[in-house]
Chains A and B, each alone.
Chain A
Amino acid sequence: MTAAANNHESVRIEARGLRKSFGDHEVLRGVSFTVERGEIFVLMGPSGSGKSVLLKHIIGLEEPDDGELLLEGQSIHTEGLRDRYRMAMVFQSGALLNSLTVGENVGLYLREHRLKPEDEIRRVIAEKLEIVGLKGTEEKIPGELSGGMKKRVALARALVIEPQLILYDEPTSELDPLIAITIGQEILALRDRTHATSIVVTHDRDLAFGIADRIAMIAEGEILEIGKPEDVRRSQHPLVRRFLTADFKRKS
């Protein structure tokens, strides 16, 4: 049993002046924010604004050129820190391992870290798949699933970890409105059940205002506005206003 398995408290995240460039393109320009324990924090912004790159920094897949990311006051890249906390990420594409079945994907974390006996792992897999509405799909392979189903399997895979910090990258993109609502409700239910700190990256305004405790509006690598949903809704920043009020208008 790892240290992470015995640690059930949600975590606090702090970003301090994060900067990241790919070649000449500066993707993050001094991003700072904090996410409190058990909070659902939504990073909202247009495509290409640096949201997903920021998410990769938080989970430790990217290192900043400057600035730091702290998890419970310690740098995310501190040796052994990731062994002490359980973190999960639901990728935009699902990122399921195509060579494994749905059941194997969902149970991967438990099997690789040898956290439970095999029959218990099978029970957990079935339970988590039922939660996301995919009961009995254990033997299917990812190639047989629709985009929405893949995303729900990815969510089930994250649920298995019982994360203290869970990151969602565009959880409702490519989904129909009904499934999108289900996913939004599941994000809320997971937080209520586990008190996990949740960071959601999205450009879906309905989802953001529906689930967020706080929202950060990000554009061109900078945070333009940060606060409770009602504060962000009242923002006078022109880019924020344009993003929040953008609507399709048919020419007459």
Chain B
Amino acid sequence: MFRDIGGLFLLFWRTLQALPLTFRHRRKVLEQFYEIGMGSLLMVCILSVFIGGVLALEIGPVMVERGLSNFLGGIVGLGLCRELAPTLMAVLIAGRIGSAMAAEIGSMAVYQEIDALRTMNINPVHYLVLPRITAIAVGLPMLVVFADLVGWLGGALVCSTNQQIAVSMQSFFANLRDTVEIKDVVHGLIKTFVFALVIGTVSCHQGLATIGGPRGIGRTVTKAVVNSIVLILILDYFLTHLLVQIEK
């Protein structure tokens, strides 16, 4: 386990050192960015509508009962942009993109493609890891911005159409505008950026360490997704704690 953590930090450090080469690898970054962004956008939108809707459905009637319906837009808005959208989108992308990264790099490791790169003096970190981590670090926060907007819309729709809640869209968004500030969205995006680095680094690290044929690739994918999600949820607490302290 300690070797895994050490390897993870080492890979991240090597990727940071390679950052000046990003422009040189821009074609590969764009390919990965397209895969992460465009490939996941529809799924992100569908999930966000329902996440916003469920949040409104869960807390709406309780707040209405206590005469707090005017604050519903703010609560749903804050809940989504500060916590739910960053965390759930990161979990979704860990499953969709992290697994693909680990499987692709893992299969390259098993079938000696990475050895072939090394024999050509092509650094696998520059060629494979840098474009993936750069693309996910930019792409995931952008997806979360979409998730925030669509989630708010989902919450507003449920609030305005549900008989028990019956808060109009105008009232919902008016309260959301009063309550949610740019710093709340940034709070969520900072967390998302860290989660993106975690997904990219864990998935690439697992992929590069793959041994043992198709079964090894399967194990790699499972470990990449599980480790990413566990790290995201643990880091979520500490990041939130840190950011709340800073905001004070």
Residue numbers of A with Cβ under 8 A of B are: 4, 56, 59-61, 82-83, 87-89, 91, 93, 95-99, 108-109, 112-113, 154, 157, 161, 167
Contact = CB atoms under 8 A, between A and B. Distances in A.
A161 B118 CA distance: 13
Given A95-B111, A98-B111, A112-B127, A89 B121 contact: no
Given A82-B121, A83-B121, A91-B116, 18 more contacts: A56-B115, A59-B119, A60-B118, A61-B115, A61-B118, A87-B119, A91-B112, A93-B112, A95-B111, A95-B113, A96-B113, A96-B116, A99-B104, A108-B122, A112-B127, A113-B121, A113-B122, A167-B119
B111 A88 contact: no
Contacts of A60: 118
The listed residue with most A CB atoms (<10 A of its CB), out of B104, B119, B121, B127, is: B119
B120 A93 contact: no
Nearest to A56: B115
27 contacts: A56-B115, A60-B118, A61-B115, A61-B119, A82-B121, A89-B115, A91-B115, A91-B116, A93-B111, A93-B112, A95-B111, A95-B113, A95-B116, A96-B113, A97-B113, A97-B117, A98-B107, A98-B108, A99-B104, A108-B122, A109-B120, A109-B121, A112-B120, A112-B122, A112-B127, A113-B122, A161-B120
B127 A95 contact: no
Nearest to B24: A114
A154 B113 CA distance: 11
Contacts of A98: 107-108, 111, 113
A147 B103 CA distance: 23
B116 A97 contact: yes
B16 to A, nearest CB: 20
A23 to B, nearest CB: 13
A82 B107 CA distance: 26
Contacts of A88: 119-120
Nearest to A61: B115
Contacts of B119: 59, 61, 87-89, 167
Contacts, number: 52
A89 B107 CA distance: 20
B122 A95 contact: no
B120 A108 contact: yes
Contacts of B112: 91, 93, 95
Contact of B122 (A4, A93, A99, A109): A109
Contacts of A4: 121
A248 to B, nearest CB: 30
Contacts of B113: 95-98
Nearest to A100: B113
A92 to B, nearest CB: 8
Nearest to B120: A109
Nearest to A160: B120
Top 8 closest A-B pairs, CB basis?
Answer: A95-B116, A95-B112, A89-B119, A109-B120, A112-B122, A97-B113, A59-B119, A91-B112
A41 to B, nearest CB: 18
A87 B121 CA distance: 9
B110 to A, nearest CB: 10
Nearest to A99: B104
Contacts of A56: 115
A89 B120 CA distance: 8
Contacts of A61: 115, 118-119
Nearest to B123: A112
Nearest to B121: A82
A155 B71 CA distance: 69
Contacts of A167: 119
Contacts of B122: 108-109, 112-113
